[in-house]
Structure 1
Amino acid sequence: MTTTTPAEPKSVLPDATSLPAAQQPEWPDATALASVVEQLATYPPLVFAGECDDLRDRMAAAAAGEAFVLQGGDCAETFVSATADNIRDRVKTILQMAAVLTYGASVPVVKIGRMAGQYAKPRSSTSETREGVTLPAYRGDMVNDFEFTPESRTPDPQRLITGYHAAASTLNLVRAFTQGGFADLRYVHEWNRGFVANSANARYEGLARDIDKAMKFMAACGADFEAMRATEFWSAHEALLLDYERPMTRVDSRTGDLYDTSGHFVWIGERTRQLDGAHLDFVSRIRNPIGMKVSDKAQPDELRRVIDLLDPNREPGRLTLITRMGAGTIRDALPPVIEAVQSTGAVVTWICDPMHGNTFESTTGYKTRRFDDVVNEVEGFFEAHRAMGSVPGGIHVELTGNDVTECLGGATEINDEDLNKRYESVCDPRLNHQQSLELAFLVAEMLSRD
């Protein structure tokens, strides 16, 4: 007679060291880290299980073509930028984009901010060298500081605590903005009218006029605009630092399920999606809606195994695949990926990240992206899904509400010589406010054609 060890229940997190975890900091003081992790585990949740369940329903609607997802925000949030003005401007940009996309898609837009947790970034190298001096790479404010000194670049676990408080403050203000009248559809529409009044954006005047007519029609029909003064707004970030995500994971008293209460939606990046790794194991155990980045290097068999791990019950809204393939690659690379996923029977939500596959170094030495490449990748995303009979469910964009000069092109025609004027990102280049709105108008045109 043989005996088998029962499988570990998914409502339990394994020991933190039981699986290899990529892209984790080399904390210099294990005792200090343990103290911080213990402290985080006592802090109140930042989001609640019921909210995560609601978002899972919204993502299921997007998977069926009954909603469209807009994820947007900073590449890497910084503690110093967690100000009322910066948070307001990012929320405002996403609300403006969502209003335009809602009209283009004729379905609700699920608004998700890369906010209140996007304080850590994976890096291609563990170190950085400048003028013969080598120091640890900057891994985001939740790990170390961008300043190039030994003290600043040494990973400090106390920054996990600072990150929690910055996330809490950000979420408090986001909730105030989106529930207290700032998100009133009438205000958002007026902001967009200001955008198209700029002569550089004149080509979008027709669409803005159509939206204006729709608003007047709604008013004439007695639409309850007071009910439109508030909106749902969800928080999301990459689940990268397991020393933060694990202590923020709690058992729901209603169901006994685990939820990562650091954000409504978390995703796994390209560098941490190893099948035998700690990151995929972690998200397989939580009930949040979850995502995974997928590049043109993804193998069909690997994807099928990932889906079996992350979405064994084939639950709509559970799993989102965020494709990041590059404008010149997506039309050839995406269809086989879609076909592999379709063969599993999973109903995933497909979202296009048109940013990460289009990054290059400019002639002036800045990491940048071309606006036309971003638009081209979204177009390729729609074309591939149309050809495969699947649903293009949303876009995932690195953006800011400020007038930075980090990405080339757009109606305002930022060129190489402009990049140094306001290049403020500590990691990857973001679309500025004007470029973000322009992208929304262009995607709305794509949606209205489908």
Structure 2
Amino acid sequence: MAVTEPTWAPDSWRALPAAQQPTWPDTEALGGVRERLRQLPPLVFAGEARNLLQALAEVAEGRAFLLQAGDCVESFREVSAIQIREKLKVLLQMSAVLTYGATLPVVKVGRIAGQFAKPRSAATETVDGVEVPSFRGHVVHSDERTPEARVPDPERIIQGYYQAASTLNLLRAFTKGGFADLTQVHTWNQEFVATSREGRRYEGIANEIGRALRFMQAIGIDLGSERSIHEVDVWTSHEGLLLDYEEPLTRCDSLTGQWYDCSAHMLWIGERTRALGGAHVEFFSGVHNPIGVKLGPEVTPDEVVALCERLNPLRVPGRLTLITRMGAARVRDALPPLLQAVRGAEVPVVWSCDPMHANTFQTPTGHKTRRFEDVMAEIEGFFAAHREVGTWPGGIHLEFTGDDVTECLGGSERVLEEHLLDRYETLCDPRLNARQALDCAFLIAELMRAA
């Protein structure tokens, strides 16, 4: 099904205001980078994006659940096999908890292999009395806090492409080569999680899964031929922020004649770039990938319906995911009117909850953090709002890491404010560590059963 307007082209966004784009000092060099990127192979394929669309259609119908999670912003310095494997471990652990706890398929989408750029609320920050441009991601410039390091460099776009390709290669090897085999569910338990309360709860689920597999084998089911036991699909996603990266990787599918953004399986439009008359909505209205839109607490029902009509005019199930980021204190009041408006417009969407971004605050030491209890409260409020309206709470959108960081306060391990300095490693926003992510998965599984 086509969603592209006859006048749409991959570069038609250039006629509209584009928010949150870097000020490139050398536009000629930028043009050369775009041309080089056009000649490189796609990172993902149109058929893969269509398969994800079908999986998300099941979520939209209430027959599956979306787990979209990963790093706040990926680093050019962290592309080792170990780091990618540890992120995948957490995603697989969370998926096992959700699938077993709620007896529903889980669609696994990583914030990975392209999450290199970040929007910022302020164009500059002050470092030791000196004003420097805010860090916008390694695909734009360095995170070093000097004016020289923060000059946008278009060559980094090419570096981002190759890092995404390396990450995808490893991700495909892990998910199809035996690491994600369900019979290895015990091996996903990291050492520091295995010694925690969440790790012990997870180990109990792993034992139950192992017992169920042995039962199936005992009654004659050939587990060796069941692909879904030995391989998993983990799709890639990132915020489609840097349009000079997205445009050259947009290709026309030879089978359907439709346009796909081949930088990732799924892209999302951020809260700061979702203006109906803006460049990002224009660009993503024309590609056929599954698309997400972040919605903050100030968005109106009319705005949401207008975005639905613009991005999913043919009402294709799975095409559009609405990711709400309301804040723990506002979600129960702000979300129901949006749910009612979209249901009234009869546009099929996946409703997902981002409980991280609207619960961020700064400590006296200058560290951005989030309280784990606020994250949990927003998730509970998200499910409560859907229960009130009678709609399906279809997914969760989280920032986590496989590393044992201390960036978010609270959780069963009781990360305190004085602990933030111990292992505060994020390049931008605070992430849940593996213990906190697993704790979150157990709560969501309980809420899913109730839903």
Q: Please state which band the TM-score falls in when normalised by the shorter chain.
A: over 0.9
Conserved in 1, the CA contact under 8 Å of 2:95 and 2:106? yes
Cα gap change, 1:364 to 1:188, in 2 (>3 Å)? farther
1:157 to 150, 154, 157: 154
Moved more, 199-208 or 135-144: 199-208
Change beyond 3 A, Cα 1:219–1:434:
farther
Point out the more displaced range, 325-334 or 174-183. Answer: 325-334
Q: Which amino acid aligns with 1:191?
A: W
Q: CA deviation at 1:193?
A: 9.7
Aligned residues: 444
Tell me the secondary structure at the aligned position of residue 343 of structure 1: helix
SS in 2 for 1:372: helix
Deviation at 1:188, TM superposition (A): 2.1
1:362 CA drift (Å): 2.5
Alignment partner, residue 273 of structure 2? 272
Q: Does 1:148 align with 2:145?
A: yes
- Corresponding residue for 1:4? none
Deviation string for 1:170-215 (max 9, x for gaps)? Answer: 0000000000000011222453597875353356776566545544
CA–CA separation in structure 1 for the residues paired with 2:386 and 2:83: 35
Over 3 Å counting, the alpha-carbon distance change for 1:190 and 1:38 in structure 2 is closer
Q: Matched residue of 2:309: which SS?
A: helix
Counterpart in 2 of 1:234?
A: 235
Give the match for residue 399 of structure 2.
398
Give 1:282's aligned residue.
283
CA contact (8 A) 1:379 1:446 kept: yes
Q: Is residue 132 of structure 1 aligned with residue 133 of structure 2? A: no
Paired residue type of 1:142: V
Unmatched tracts of structure 2, length 5 or more: none
1:94-105 residue pairs with structure 2 within 5 A? 94-105=91-102
Q: 1:384 corresponds to which residue?
A: 385
1:442: how far off?
A: 1.6
Which residue number corresponds to residue 49 of structure 2?
A: 52
Cα gap change, 1:447 to 1:189, in 2 (>3 Å): farther
Partners of 2:424 and 2:353 lie apart in 1 by 25
The one-letter code sitting in structure 2 at the alignment partner of 1:422 is R
1:243 and 2:240 are equivalent in the alignment: no
Paired residues of 2:186 and 2:203 also in contact (CA < 8 A): no
- Aligned-pair identity (%): 56
- Choose 201-210 or 260-269, whichever is displaced more: 201-210
Q: What's the counterpart of residue 312 of structure 1?
A: 313
Aligned partner letter, 2:303: E
Are 2:312 and 1:293 equivalent residues in the alignment?
A: no
Match of 1:220 in 2: 218
The whole-number CA distance in structure 2 between the counterparts of 1:61 and 1:30 is: 44
Comparing 158-167 and 99-108, the one that deviates more:
99-108
Counterpart-to-counterpart distance in 2, 1:10 and 1:74: 36
AA matched with 1:346: V
| Matched letter for residue 83 of structure 1 | S
Contact 2:185 2:206 in 1 (8 A): no
Deviation at 1:361, TM superposition (A): 1.4
CA contact 2:322–2:350 (8 Å) conserved in 1: yes
Q: Which moved more, 1:198-207 or 1:108-117?
A: 198-207
**CA distance in 1 between partners of 2:341 and 2:347 (Å):** 10
**Distance in 1 of aligned mates of 2:49 and 2:40:** 19
Alignment pair present for 1:337 and 2:338: yes
Q: Aligned partners of 2:160 and 2:338: how far apart in 1?
A: 36
2:102 maps to amino acid: A
SS at 1:139 equivalent: coil
Give 1:76's aligned residue. 73
Alpha-carbon RMSD across the aligned residues, in angstroms, is 1.9
What is the one-letter code of the residue matched to 1:304? V
Taking structure 2 as the reference length, what is the TM-score of the superposition? 0.94
1:76-133 residue CA offsets vs partner (Å, 9 max, x unmatched) = 0011011111111001110111011111221111111100000000001111111221
- What is the aligned partner in structure 2 of residue 185 from structure 1? 182
Structure 2 counterparts to residues 29-48 of structure 1, below 5 A? 29-48=26-45
- The residue aligned with 1:439 is 440
Partner deviation per Cα, 1:353-375 (whole Å, 9 max, x = no partner) = 11111111134431111111111
Tell me, what secondary structure is at the counterpart of 1:392?
A: coil
Shift of 1:12: 2.2
Deviation, structure 1 residue 438? 1.5
Specify the alignment match of 2:103 in structure 1. 106
Check conservation: 1:99, 1:189, Cα contact below 8 A. no
